[in-house]
């Protein structure tokens, strides 16, 4: 019988987020595509930083799967994150952030010795929409050396970040890890990450999906683009065939859980959204925490909605541990798991 040491083992990009509040006019003036993630090079990053230098900013650990493992760990789960940073100040910041949040990582054993750690400029407009300009830096060279096969084998869920579809070595590492996880009997999970990945890197996502998944996470726009349709019935039918359990987040409308031919609609708490950065990552982390701790998937989606609502009602992609603990305590009071 397998002893699970980790509830979640994830692989993804290591990015330090720098978040700015900007107007729609500013966003347009500096030429950033609203609402999506755009990959940028070092000169473009320098250009954007120069244009934003008078703006105040917040710096946090980021990366889609990084946000998810931190959320799960802050809720009390055990998580491992495979990623890549450079030997620089941002890399040290990122590694320390994971350690501070109780996430185990390959960075304790391997560290890049050259280049720059990846970073993401997150521009938040008054409508709470986030627009991301991502400089991959060292994480573009993420490869299979970041994998810890023994830890994958001791994990309940193996989680792949869809953004890795943009990196040949990162994609190959994710797929190698997927094979190890499947052999060990771990559940397989994927987040589609962003519309841009579906539009420009779909073959990589198809490879991550090949052979079936246990969990697939996406938002409604990503599901529509994947299916080439805005017809909700058609989208539900197509998406349901991609994994045993498909979670589609819908912002203020809550989330859908598609599994076993059923559609579960879970409403979201009513909040005033100020920043949507990290909402989907938070949902996935909270959902997987609940799912790996014995809760039915409808209740897991309920916790995911509550945690996502909390993160969008403030600035920044993360919550403080005490905020998540309070949400978990309230959730546990209202829901009980029968052994």
Can you give the residue ranges of every domain in the chain?
6-334
Kindly give, in sequence order, each residue whose CB lies less than 8 Å from that of residue 222, ignoring residues fewer than 6 positions away. Answer: 192, 193, 194, 195, 198
Q: What angle do CA 10, 36, 299 make, to 5 degrees?
A: 50
Token match 């954007």: residue? Answer: 48
- The burial class, CB within 10 Å (0-12 / 13-18 / 19+), for 167 is buried
Instruction: Copy the structure tokens of residue 304.
Output: 């995911």
Instruction: Copy the structure tokens of residue 209.
Output: 């999906």
Q: What is the mean pLDDT of residues 91-112?
A: 91
- With 80 as the cut, is the pLDDT of residue 291 above it? yes
The answer to whether the CB of 310 falls within 8 A of the CB of 275 is no
- The burial class, CB within 10 Å (0-12 / 13-18 / 19+), for 128 is middle
Give residue 1's pLDDT: 43
306-338 tens-digit pLDDT? 999 999 999 888 999 999 999 999 999 999 765
List the one residue out of 288, 206, 275 whose CA is nearest residue 247: 288
- With 50 as the cut, is the pLDDT of residue 339 above it? no
Instruction: Copy the structure tokens of residue 74.
Output: 């802050």
- With 50 as the cut, is the pLDDT of residue 183 above it? yes
CA distance 179 to 123: 37
28-69 tens-digit pLDDT? 999 999 998 999 999 999 999 999 988 888 899 999 999 999
Q: How confident is the model at residue 244 (pLDDT cuts 50, 70, 90)?
A: very high
Q: What is the mean pLDDT of residues 194-221?
A: 97
CATH topology of domain 6-334: 3.40.1190
Q: What is the mean pLDDT of residues 255-284?
A: 94
List the one residue out of 86, 94, 93, 87 whose CA is nearest residue 137: 86
Range of lowest pLDDT (126-130, 242-246, 295-299): 126-130
The answer to whether the CB of 97 falls within 8 A of the CB of 61 is yes
CA distance 189 to 105: 19
CA distance 103 to 101: 6
CA distance 123 to 176: 34
Give residue 8's pLDDT: 98
CA distance 66 to 118: 13
Task: Compute the mean pLDDT over every residue in the chain, rounded to the nearest whole number.
Answer: 94
Give residue 64's pLDDT: 96
């Amino acid at each position: 019988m397998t002893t699970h040491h980790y509830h979640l083992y994830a692989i993804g990009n290591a990015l330090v987020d720098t978040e700015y509040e900007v107007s729609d006019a500013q966003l347009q003036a500096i030429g950033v595509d609203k609402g999506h993630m755009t990959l940028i090079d070092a000169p473009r990053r320098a250009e954007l930083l120069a244009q934003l230098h008078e703006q105040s900013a917040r710096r946090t650990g980021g990366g889609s799967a990084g946000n998810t493992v931190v959320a799960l760990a802050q809720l009390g789960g055990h998580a491992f994150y495979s990623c890549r940073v450079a030997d620089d100040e941002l890399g040290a910041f990122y590694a320390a952030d994971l350690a501070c949040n109780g996430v185990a990582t390959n960075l304790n054993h391997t560290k890049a010795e050259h280049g720059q750690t990846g970073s993401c400029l997150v521009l938040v407009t008054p409508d709470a929409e986030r627009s991301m300009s991502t400089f991959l830096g060292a994480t573009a060279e993420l490869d299979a050396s970041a994998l810890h096969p023994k830890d994958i084998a001791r994990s309940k869920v193996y989680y792949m970040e869809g953004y890795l579809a943009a990196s040949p070595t990162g994609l190959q590492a994710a797929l190698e890890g997927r094979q190890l996880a499947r052999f060990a009997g771990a559940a397989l999970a994927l987040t589609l990450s962003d519309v841009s990945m579906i539009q420009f890197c779909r073959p990589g996502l198809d490879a991550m999906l090949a052979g079936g998944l246990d969990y697939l996470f996406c938002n409604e726009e990503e599901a529509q683009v994947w299916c080439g349709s805005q017809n909700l019935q058609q989208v539900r039918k197509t998406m349901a065939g991609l994994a045993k359990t498909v979670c589609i987040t819908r912002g203020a409308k809550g989330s859908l859980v598609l599994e076993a031919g059923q559609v579960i609609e879970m409403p979201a708490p009513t909040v005033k959204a100020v920043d949507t950065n990290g909402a989907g990552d938070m949902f996935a982390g909270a959902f997987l925490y609940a799912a790996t701790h014995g809760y039915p998937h409808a209740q897991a989606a309920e916790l995911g909605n509550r945690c996502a609502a909390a993160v969008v009602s403030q600035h920044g992609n993360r919550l403080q541990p005490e905020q998540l603990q309070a949400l978990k305590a309230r959730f546990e009071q209202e829901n009980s798991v029968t052994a």
